[in-house]
């Protein structure tokens, strides 16, 4: 939906205002729509319509989570906003049934979210939120926004009031420091993978292309370029900092790191332990799907069947030290191999940076709340177990965050599989009731030495008894 809320709506305080409409706040909006008795909720998004990684909707690419990790199902399987109900509305249930696909294509997930965004009430696209403040006089949050026209230009100013806020600002593409000047100059294509499809034809026309990044996006971009270039003249380099082009941890017990149980366990750890732990868990969420690795190897092997090797170089364990332009038409990358301790340079005609994303900073939007915010030793906002920023007690409203709390909640923070559970927990906390009963236990793994009450199941292992250290 688009348009501006009526003056009456703006004057009346909301129960909840969401800032940003990505998958996580769209999940929250869908579940808020089903709260018994109703909830006065409004969501603002500066984009003119829902968009989910449009530059990476490469043909055939799939989600790394099952279709059950839609916006609502893992909290409310009967919701009208489920992926299965989307298929039903399109008369596609039986085709999906016979397709036997547990992991759907990204383009289909994007179409599903756009269907929700087009039909769910309370969503206002083309509205850019500029500031959030606490009004002690009103005992409410003030939310200032700009209504944008079709060209993204300011059209009108507005202000709304709310008891609670949910920030879903999402992430932004990360460009390593040595390559930032190259991205800003358009002469030679040096682009982030987030805009890959937008630049694909230009990349295919380049004589030599280098892909940097060892994760799923880098693998998909490399595979797409490989398939589109002639055999024997691929002229591709794929470089990565990691020691290997490693598969994502996808064992069933490994996946339990993306359960509510692990999220609660991680949140209970000391700050230093959490900070040390996250970088070591990169293979849980930054590795490559094994099917994609297999497809790359199969394509390389197919191109070697008639003799010779494809002109494609895959080198892990490499960092880019510096980069610059050569004669305005090429890029020179200065490389260092970590294990060998050797250095070299690579000249290329185009670069795709599959270097991941970073959480968007909150400080600008929340500058008016800075005196009220509690921070950790690194200056990051503290987030409690209910996904609320810890604020001064003078602020009686709650400010929830989505996909901005990896430092407090761990690797599951950006995972779509936890979206519905987190949204349901936020709504349970916000309403002070339990519109969405949540499971007490979600993993077979007990992540810490803690006392667990026996549920009365025969054969249950005895509970652990803590000892004094």
What tens digit of pLDDT does each residue of 257-308 get? 999 999 999 999 999 999 999 999 988 988 999 999 999 999 999 999 988 8
Note the pLDDT of residue 321.
94
Residue 357: alpha-carbon gap to chain centroid: 8
- Is the separation of the CB atoms in 216 and 292 below 8 Å? yes
Note the pLDDT of residue 7.
42
pLDDT band at 329 (very low <50, low <70, confident <90, very high): confident
| Range of lowest pLDDT (355-364, 388-397, 453-462) | 453-462
Chain segment 163-200, per-residue pLDDT in tens: 999 999 989 999 998 888 888 777 788 999 999 999 99
pLDDT band at 328 (very low <50, low <70, confident <90, very high): confident
Note the pLDDT of residue 157.
96
pLDDT band at 247 (very low <50, low <70, confident <90, very high): very high
Note the pLDDT of residue 457.
47
Percent of the chain with pLDDT over 70: 94
pLDDT band at 375 (very low <50, low <70, confident <90, very high): very high
pLDDT band at 463 (very low <50, low <70, confident <90, very high): low
Among the listed residues 189, 192, 194, the one whose alpha carbon sits nearest the alpha carbon of residue 207? 189
Spatial separation of the C-alpha atoms in residues 385 and 120, rounded to whole Å: 28
Mean pLDDT, the chain, rounded, equals 92
Q: Which phi and psi angles does 6 have, rounded to 5°?
A: -65, 160
Chain segment 136-168, per-residue pLDDT in tens: 999 999 999 999 999 889 999 999 999 999 999
Is it the case that residue 379 has pLDDT exceeding 60? yes
Note the pLDDT of residue 8.
40
Note the pLDDT of residue 12.
86
- The angle at the Cα of 210, spanning 206 to 214, to the nearest 5 degrees, equals 145
Q: What is the mean pLDDT of residues 380-389?
A: 97
pLDDT band at 460 (very low <50, low <70, confident <90, very high): low
- Is the separation of the CB atoms in 217 and 56 below 8 Å? yes
The residue with greater pLDDT, 1 or 401, is 401
Please count the other Cβ atoms lying within 10 Å of the Cβ belonging to residue 35.
18
Chain segment 25-56, per-residue pLDDT in tens: 999 999 999 999 999 999 999 999 999 999 99
CB contact burial 293-325 (16+ within 10 A = b; e otherwise): bebbeebbeebeeeeeebbbeeebbbbbeebee
Chain segment 81-125, per-residue pLDDT in tens: 999 999 999 999 999 999 999 999 999 999 999 999 999 999 999
pLDDT band at 5 (very low <50, low <70, confident <90, very high): low
Is it the case that residue 454 has pLDDT exceeding 50? no
Note the pLDDT of residue 181.
84
Q: What is the DSSP string of 102-133?
A: SS-BHHHHHHHHHHHHHHSTTEEESEEEEEEE
């Amino acid at each position: 939906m688009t348009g501006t809320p009526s003056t009456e709506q703006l004057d009346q305080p909301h129960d909840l205002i969401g800032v940003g409409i990505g998958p996580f706040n769209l999940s929250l909006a869908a579940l808020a729509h089903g709260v018994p008795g109703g909830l006065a909720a409004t969501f603002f998004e500066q984009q003119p319509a829902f968009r989910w990684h449009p530059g990476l909707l490469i043909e055939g690419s799939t989600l790394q989570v099952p279709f059950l990790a839609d916006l609502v199902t893992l909290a409310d399987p009967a919701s009208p906003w489920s992926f299965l109900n989307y298929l039903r509305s399109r008369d596609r249930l039986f085709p999906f049934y016979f397709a036997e696909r547990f992991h759907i294509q990204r383009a289909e997930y994007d179409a599903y979210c756009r269907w929700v965004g087009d039909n769910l009430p309370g969503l206002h696209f083309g509205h850019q939120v500029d500031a959030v403040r606490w009004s002690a006089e009103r005992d409410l949050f003030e939310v200032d926004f700009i209504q944008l026209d079709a060209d993204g230009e300011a059209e009108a100013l507005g202000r709304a009031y709310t008891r609670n806020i949910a920030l879903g600002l999402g992430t932004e593409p990360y460009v390593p420091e040595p390559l930032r000047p190259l991205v800003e100059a358009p002469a030679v294509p040096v682009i982030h993978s987030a805009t890959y499809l937008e630049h694909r034809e230009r990349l295919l026309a380049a004589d030599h292309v280098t892909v940097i990044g060892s994760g799923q996006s880098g693998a998909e971009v490399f595979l797409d370029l490989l398939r589109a270039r002639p055999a024997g003249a691929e002229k591709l380099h794929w470089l990565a900092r990691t020691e290997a082009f490693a598969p994502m941890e996808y064992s069933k017990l490994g996946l339990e790191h993306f359960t509510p149980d692990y999220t609660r366990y991680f949140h209970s750890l000391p700050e230093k332990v959490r900070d040390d732990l996250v970088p070591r868990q990169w293979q849980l969420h930054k590795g490559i799907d094994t099917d994609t690795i297999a497809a790359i190897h199969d394509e390389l092997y197919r191109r070697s069947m008639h003799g010779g090797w494809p002109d494609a170089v895959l080198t892990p364990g490499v960092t880019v030290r510096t980069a610059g332009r050569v004669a305005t038409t090429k890029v020179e990358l200065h490389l260092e191999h970590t294990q060998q301790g050797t250095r070299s340079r690579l000249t290329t005609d185009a670069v795709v940076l599959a270097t991941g994303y970073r959480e968007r900073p909150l400080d600008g939007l929340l500058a008016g709340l800075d005196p009220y915010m509690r921070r950790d030793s690194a200056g990051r906002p503290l987030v409690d177990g209910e996904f609320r920023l810890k604020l001064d007690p003078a602020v009686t409203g709650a400010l929830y965050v989505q996909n901005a709390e990896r430092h407090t909640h761990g690797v599951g923070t950006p995972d779509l599989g936890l979206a519905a559970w987190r949204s349901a927990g936020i709504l349970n906390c916000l309403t002070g009731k339990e519109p969405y009963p949540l499971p007490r236990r979600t993993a077979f793994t007990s992540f810490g030495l803690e006392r667990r009450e026996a549920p009365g199941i025969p054969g249950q292992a005895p509970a652990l008894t803590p000892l004094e250290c």
